[in-house]
Amino acid sequence: MLAESGKPRLFLALLRKLGYAVASRTSQRVPDRMTHRSCLAIVLAAGEGTRMRSRTAKVQHRIGNRTLIDHVLSTAMAAGGAELAVVIGPDHDAVAAEAKRIAPGVAIFKQTQRLGTAHAVLSARAALAKQPDDILVMFGDTPLIRVETLKQLRAALAAGAAVAVLGFTPADPAGYGRLVTDKTGLVAIREHKDANEAERAIGLCNGGLMALAGSHALAILERIGNDNANREFYLTDAVAIARDMGLSAVAIETSEDDVRGINTKAQLAEAEAVLQKRLRAAAMEAGVTLVAPDTVFLATDTKFGKDVTVEPNVVFGPGVTVEDGAVIRSFSHIEGAHVGNGARVGPFARLRPGAQLGADVHIGNFVEVKAATIEDGAKANHLAYIGDARVGAGANIGAGTITCNYDGFAKHKTDIGAGAFIGTNSSLVAPVTIGAGAYIGSGSVITKNVPADALAIERAQQTVKDGWAKRLREARLLSKKGAADAKKP
Contact flag: residue 189 with ligand UD1 (CB under 6 A): yes
What is the closest distance, in whole angstroms, from the C-beta atom of residue 333 to ligand UD1 in the complex? 33
CB of 391 to ligand UD1, least distance (A): 49
For ligand UD1, which stretch binds (CB under 6 A), given 114-122, 282-290, 295-303, 308-316?
114-122
441 in Cβ contact with 421 (< 8 Å): no
Q: How far apart are CA 236 and CA 177, in angstroms?
A: 8
Write down how long the chain is: 489
**Is 111 near ligand UD1 (CB under 6 A)?**
yes
Which of residues 51, 62, 110, 114 is near ligand UD1 by CB under 6 A?
114
Residue 321 interacting partner from Mg ion, ligand UD1, none (CB closer than 5 to 8 Å by kind)? none
Q: For residue 397, list its beta bridge partners.
A: 380, 422
Q: How far is CA 117 from CA 233, 313, 403, 428, 451, in A?
A: 6, 42, 56, 61, 70
Q: In sequence order, what are the beta bridge partners of 367?
A: 384
CA nearest neighbour of 303 among 277, 287, 313, 374: 287
Strands 62-63 and 66-67: antiparallel
Question: Shortest distance, CB of residue 440 to ligand UD1, whole angstroms?
Answer: 59
Task: From the candidates 92, 119, 362, 382, give the one annotated as an active-site residue.
Answer: 382
Question: What phi, psi does 330 have (nearest 5°)?
Answer: -50, 150
Residue from 42, 235, 386, 422 touching ligand UD1 (CB under 6 A): that is 235
Show the site string, 155-184: x = touches ligand UD1 by CB under 6 A, - = not.
---------------------xx-------
Q: Which of the listed partners (ligand UD1, Mg ion, none) does 115 bind, with a CB threshold of 5 to 8 Å by partner kind?
A: ligand UD1
Residue 465: exposure state from Cβ atoms within 10 A (0-12, 13-18, ≥19): exposed
Among positions 16, 119, 333, 370, the unique one binding ligand UD1 when judged by CB under 6 A: 119
Question: 249: how many CB neighbours lie within 10 A of its CB?
Answer: 27
Does position 208 bind ligand UD1 by CB under 6 A? yes
Touching ligand UD1, residues 246-275 (CB under 6 A): 261
Spatial contact of 79 and 86, defined as CB atoms under 8 Å apart:
no
The region of 63-71, 229-237, 306-314, 430-438 touching ligand UD1 under the rule CB under 6 A is: 229-237
Nearest approach, Cβ of residue 208 and ligand UD1 (Å):
3
CB of 261 to Mg ion, least distance (A): 4
Q: Is 382 a catalytic residue?
A: yes
Out of ligand UD1, Mg ion, none, what residue 191 binds, judged by CB under 5 to 8 A for its kind, is ligand UD1
Q: Which is nearer to ligand UD1, 117 or 414 (CB)?
A: 117
Q: Which stretch binds ligand UD1 (CB under 6 A): 101-109, 202-210, 295-303, 368-376?
A: 202-210
Strand pairing of 355-357 and 350-351?
unpaired
- DSSP per residue over 135-164, as a string? EEEEETT-TT--HHHHHHHHHHHHTT-SEE
- Determine the Cα–Cα distance for residues 191 and 176; give it in Å rounded to an integer: 6
8 A C-beta contact, residue 229 and residue 191: yes
Which of 11, 234, 297, 385: binder of ligand UD1 (CB under 6 A)? 234
Which amino acids are annotated catalytic? Answer: 382
Site of interaction with ligand UD1 (CB under 6 A): 44-47, 87, 111, 114-117, 119-120, 139-141, 176-177, 189, 191, 205-208, 234-236, 261
